[in-house]
Amino acid sequence: MKINLLINGLYRSVEVEPGEYLLDTLRKINMISVRRGCDNTSCGVCTVLIEGKPVPSCSYLSVRADGKSILTVEGIAEEAEKISSYFGEEGAEQCGFCNPSIALTVYALKKEIKNPTDEQVDKYLVSNLCRCTGYISQKKAIKNYLGDKS
Amino acid sequence: MKTINQSFPSVDGKGIMMGRVAFTDDYALQNSLIVKILRSPHPYAKIKNIDASKALALYGVECVLTHKDFPRIPFTRAGQGYPEPSPHDKFILDEYVRYIGDEVAVVAAVSNDICEEALSLIEVEYEVLEPVLNFETALDSKNILHPEPEIHEMFPIGFDPKRNLAASYHMHIGDVEKSLKECDVVVEQSFFTQAQQHTALEPHTVNAQMDYQDRLVLYSSTQTPFHVRRILSQTLGIPLSKIRVIKPRVGGGFGGKQALHGEMFVSYITYKTKKPSKIVFTRKEVFESSYTRHPMRLDIKLGADKDGTLKAIDCYVLSDTGAYGEHALTVFMVAGSKVLPLYNKVDSVRFHGHVVYTNHTPAGAFRGYGAIQGNYALESAVDMLCHKLHMDPIEFRQKNMMKENETSPIFAIMGEGTEGTAMNMESCKLDYCVSRGKELIGWDSIYPHKNVSKEKIRSVGMAIAMQGSGIPYIDMGSAIIKLNDDGFYNLLIGATDIGQGSDTILAQIAAEELMTSLDKVIVYSSDTDLTPFDTGAYASSTTFISGNAVLKAARKMKGLLIEEAAKVLKCEEADINFDGFNFKNKKNESEINLSQLSNRLTYNEDQKQLVADSSYVGHKSPPPFMAGFIEILIDRETGEIEIENYVSVVDCGTPLNPKLAQGQVEGGVVQGIGMALYENVVITSKGKNITSDFLNYKVPTRMEIKKLVTEFAESYESSGPFGAKSVGEIGIDTPPAALANAIENALGVRMTDLPMTPEKIMRALKAKEKRQ
């Protein structure tokens, strides 16, 4: 069946199976920045923004996304570049497999909560696992980005 | 231009965050056959019959492979140099399956769904055998895991499969039993460590295609592309020259990707069918069917004099390698060789033990590689000894531990699977690390503990650690530097960036030596066709081994540049003053810049391609050192622990990129905390791992980690590139012992079994109350 998606500001009509998940649909059409890290929505790597909210695409049926707006990291390129600069300053990049999903989640957080506390930030990002950094460098980078009003 | 000891962002961080094509699966062709594996539901069974006819009849199924499709060539997937110190005890597919999750058959089909359906249609008749599920009774069990006659060791490693023995070893210096008898105080304790899983966020992934020269091209999420190429050729009979292995960006490895996992299957299928294929492990497969850390029991005895002089260490280790002996001997040996030299003033040491086969998921390389297990036991026992001596644990360590310019006879005796290499500690700032860490954690105001409320107690604990920098005389790294017109360079290295930032720090080394800026060094790594050889990313080797190779190559390039500039400026090479951008003839002030020189060499006169290459093999393995200090809040009613702060003071020589080095330490520390407290592996009495996803296997999240303080000691290792030692593993070693020591300082109970969950802590407290 065909669904219509607004991906990163462009309308696309995509052929999907009834039981297909959005992660597989996006990778099928070469949106490769969306990646799989687990089987049951427990790692956060496959996060995309659907109507502005972070959602694990590995368990979101593609048919549910019909007519909706989807952002992957390519759709927030300018902000992602800014976030990456703050990550770079703190040495918080490491393997980067989770980084596009973290950029998207941090971007959504900035829009959703004005001047969040450290605890609010941690809670918002709690389901985005990282096995490389030990989190502290990431937390500093995220804090610096959230404080950037430019 | 100074690029060393500067915190540059990693060269690839921006592009990866912005979502560019980077990881193995991003390079898979859209028409790849999907490869999936039928896995054993039994911990131990013999396959009596496999009927794949129904699966093969399914539309879209390309092939089904069973053990009958492969010649019986025993090998090891360990991903080590050749000959390997691991037994050749694995067949690509075998008629025996030896753990729940072992490979039974392989399907290639046009889609995931068809693959899954085909797997369900394969009919397998098993003869279920009695498994060995308790590693403490595996040795000489009547149930033998490896009865097959073809398997063998490559050189003596104490391999004796009839006894379920993958490897064994014994060493001693002095008469440990006699010295223990003479000691005033002796402690004796057994410690248990669990089968921690790496959980790199990118699952094991490989894809293969035939290129237009009819060669097999593999993209693999591997730490060892050159070993992968060799092992594929040895097991599948494909000429080495027909295989190209490309390692793109790897999404974390931590040792789990040193070995081969799906490589044999996609290679065989693509080479045979000429169609592209790919495999991506599910998270469940990563947990059940890749690797874990070797679970161990470490029986340790320490003896000291009343004045706090450590006299004797006796350590027996029983290690569980699971179904196959990958890294069996070497991980076990590191539990001694990179732990025991910390206390180098003892009269006698004994280290011995057995590595046994069980019907568990195979164990393999994992950051820390035995050192974390050994460190947990030794550094816990040292604190127990201090309690018995009524001595401050920091004072005890300062008195007995390794100091600069000292050595330990263990270095010469124990290597990794072979004899070791004698060396003096030309750089060892452990003394500073301990005193600085003590200050940073506020030891004196807390030790041993402070009551915060009726339930909560604040306490501190600490441990010291050492690691290595590559394997001397075995690990080889190499580099090629090429000059381009306009005066920038390509740096080609076999070294394997798996997210730790080696591409960045190796480019920094080249830029520093060539006195240029980092953006003038374009780095490309880990492609068996295009880059020179490197053993790969393991054994904390890249900074030291590959780094020295890059430094030597850059020095050579500088020489070539000066030689060419002297020709242009018509002077002696000694008269040339080169600052990285300009060549000046000191005698007459005539000059040419690098861009002009390179353009001239490319297009105009004396035309030639300037290329410099070099390789490096270590003659020693200078250990990085670290002191780790933890402050915790513990609830005596529930046993719950909150980590308030973890202080790491590290001697890694010159940190080439301090922020990236800090990232290595802190990432290691948090993995160590995970092993110490949260990462519980539950295997049922039937041998089934029931903690095979992130919901049941708890890696630390950002909620548990509140504060990490990481500092580097001023240190310079003269054998390292610009004074550097390696730093990839050292961070993981101290948390288990530091935490166990902090728990004892708070509650007076000694935790001897990882992870130290609230339940176990409460059980220990109850037992203590009963005793009193």
pLDDT over 90 (residue A149): no
pLDDT at residue B715 in the model: 98
Confidence of residue B417 (pLDDT cuts 50, 70, 90): confident
- Token pair in block for residue A65: 């996304």
Most B CBs within 10 A among A98, A135, A139, hence the mutation to make, goes to A135
Task: Tell me how far CA of residue B157 lies from CA of B86, B324, B352, B418, B422, in angstroms.
Answer: 8, 14, 13, 8, 21
Report the CATH fold assignment for B476-617.
Answer: Aldehyde Oxidoreductase; domain 4 (3.30.365)
Percent of chain B with pLDDT over 90: 99
Q: What angle do the packed helices A136-146 and B658-673 form, to 10 degrees?
A: 120
Identify the three-state secondary structure at position A114.
coil
Bridge partners of residue B128, in order along the sequence: B45
Across the interface, which of B10, B19, B199 has its CB nearest the CB of A72? B19
Look at the domain B13-129+204-280 and name its fold.
Aldehyde Oxidoreductase; domain 3 (3.90.1170)
For the cut 90, the answer to whether the pLDDT of residue B415 exceeds it is: no
- Give the mutation candidate from A97, A107, A109 for the B interface (greatest B CB count, under 10 A): A97
Q: State yes or no: pLDDT of B108 exceeds 90.
A: yes
The strand pair at B296-304 and B310-322 is best described as antiparallel
Residue in A closest to B198 by C-alpha: A131
What spatial distance separates the first Cα and last Cα of chain B, rounded to whole Å?
67
What local confidence, expressed as pLDDT, does residue B1 receive? 60
pTM for this structure?
Answer: 0.98
Which residues are registered as beta bridge partners of B466?
B625
The closest CB to that of A134, out of B199, B283, B708, belongs to B708
pLDDT of residue B666: 98
pLDDT, mean of residues B634-652: 98
Task: Determine the distance in angstroms separating the CA of A61 from the nearest CA of chain B, rounded to an integer.
Answer: 16
Domains of chain A, CATH where assigned: 2-74 (3.10.20.30), 77-146 (1.10.150.120)
Is B736:B701 a contact under the CB 8 Å cutoff? no
List the domain boundaries for chain B. Answer: 13-129+204-280, 365-372+382-468+622-771, 476-617
How far apart, in Å, are the Cα atoms of B37 and each of B175, B210, B317, B474, B766?
52, 22, 34, 35, 47
Q: What is the pLDDT of residues B205-223, one digit of tens each?
A: 999 999 999 999 999 999 9
Degrees, nearest 5: CA angle B218-B75-B71? 85
Q: Is the pLDDT of residue B647 over 80?
A: yes
Query: Sign of dihedral through CA atoms B65, B67, B71, B77?
Result: positive
Cα–Cα distances in angstroms (integers) from residue B53 to residues B114, B119, B766, in the given order: 15, 11, 59
Q: Which of B198, B663, B699 sits opposite A133 (nearest CB)?
A: B663
Element (H, E) at B673: helix B658-673
pLDDT for res A45? 98
pLDDT digits (tens, 9 = 90+) for A36-92: 999 899 999 999 999 999 999 999 999 999 999 999 999 999 999 999 999 999 999
Return the structure tokens found at A11.
């309308």
Say yes or no for a CB contact (<8 Å) between A40 and B283: yes
Q: Which residues contact B307 (CB under 8 A, 6 or more apart)?
A: none
Q: Which residue on chain B is closest to A139 by alpha carbon?
A: B702
Nearest chain B Cα distance for residue A78, angstroms: 9
DSSP at B583: E
Here the tokens at position B630 are 């933890």
- Among B499, B660, B694, whose Cβ lies nearest the Cβ of A129? B694
Looking at this predicted complex, what is its ipTM? 0.98
Chain A residue whose CA is closest to B32:
A28
User: Interhelix angle for B263-273 vs B225-236, to 10°?
Assistant: 60
Q: Which residues pair with B648 in a beta bridge?
A: B628, B710
Mean pLDDT in chain B? Answer: 97
Q: Is the pLDDT of residue A4 over 90?
A: yes
Query: Span B382-386, mean pLDDT?
Result: 98
- Smallest Cβ distance to A80: which of B17, B199, B283? B17
**pLDDT, tens digit (0-9, with 9 covering 90-100), for B661-716:** 999 999 999 999 999 999 999 999 999 999 999 999 999 999 999 999 999 999 99
Structure-block tokens of residue B74: 């025993």
Q: With bands split at pLDDT 50, 70 and 90, how would you rate the model's confidence at B535? A: very high
Q: Which amino acid is at B204?
A: H
Query: Are B280 and A91 in contact (CB < 8 Å)?
Result: no
How large is the average pLDDT for residues B51-56? Answer: 98
Give the three-state DSSP class for B393: helix
Closest C-alpha among B298, B730, B346 to residue B500: B730
Element spanning A26, H or E: helix A22-28
Shortest Cα distance, chain B CAs vs residue A93, angstroms: 6
A150 pLDDT more than 90: no
Task: Judge whether B13-129+204-280 and B365-372+382-468+622-771 match in fold.
Answer: no
Question: What would the pLDDT profile of B559-595 be if each residue is shown by its tens digit?
Answer: 999 999 999 999 999 999 999 999 999 999 999 999 9
Helix orientation angle between B758-771 and B735-747, rounded to the nearest 10 degrees: 40
Q: How many CB atoms lie within 10 A of CB A86?
A: 21
Q: Tell me which chain A residue has its CA closest to the CA of residue B19.
A: A33
pLDDT for res A119: 97
Minimum distance, in Å, between the CA of residue A48 and any CA atom of chain B: 12
Test the A interface: residue of B699, B702, B703 with most A CBs within 10 Å:
B702
The two structure tokens encoding residue B327: 């890294």
Question: Which residues in chain B have their CB less than 8 angstroms from residue A36's CB?
Answer: 203, 280
> Which pLDDT belongs to residue B772?
83
pLDDT digits (tens, 9 = 90+) for B423-455: 999 999 999 999 999 999 999 999 999 999 999
Contacts of A35 in chain B (CB under 8 A): 23, 25, 202, 251
Measured between CA atoms, the residue of chain B closest to residue A20 is B113
Across the interface, of B25, B251, B695, the residue whose CB is closest to A40 is: B695
User: What are the DSSP calls for B422-488, one per residue?
Assistant: ----SS--HHHHHHHHHHHHTHHHHSSEEE-SSSEEEEEEEEEEE--SS-TTT-EEEEEEEE-TTS-
For residue range B152-172, what is the model confidence (pLDDT) as tens digits? 999 999 999 999 999 999 999
Q: What's chain A's Rg over C-alpha atoms?
A: 15
Tell me which residue in B254, B659, B670 faces A91 most closely, judged by beta carbons: B659
Chain A residues in contact with B675 (beta carbon < 8 A) = none
Minimal Cα distance from A80: which residue of B?
B18
A37 vs B201: CB contact, 8 Å cut-off? yes
Pick the CATH number of B365-372+382-468+622-771 from 3.40.440.10, 3.30.365.10, 3.40.50.2300, 3.30.9.30: 3.30.365.10
Helix (H, G, I), strand (E, B) or coil at B113: helix
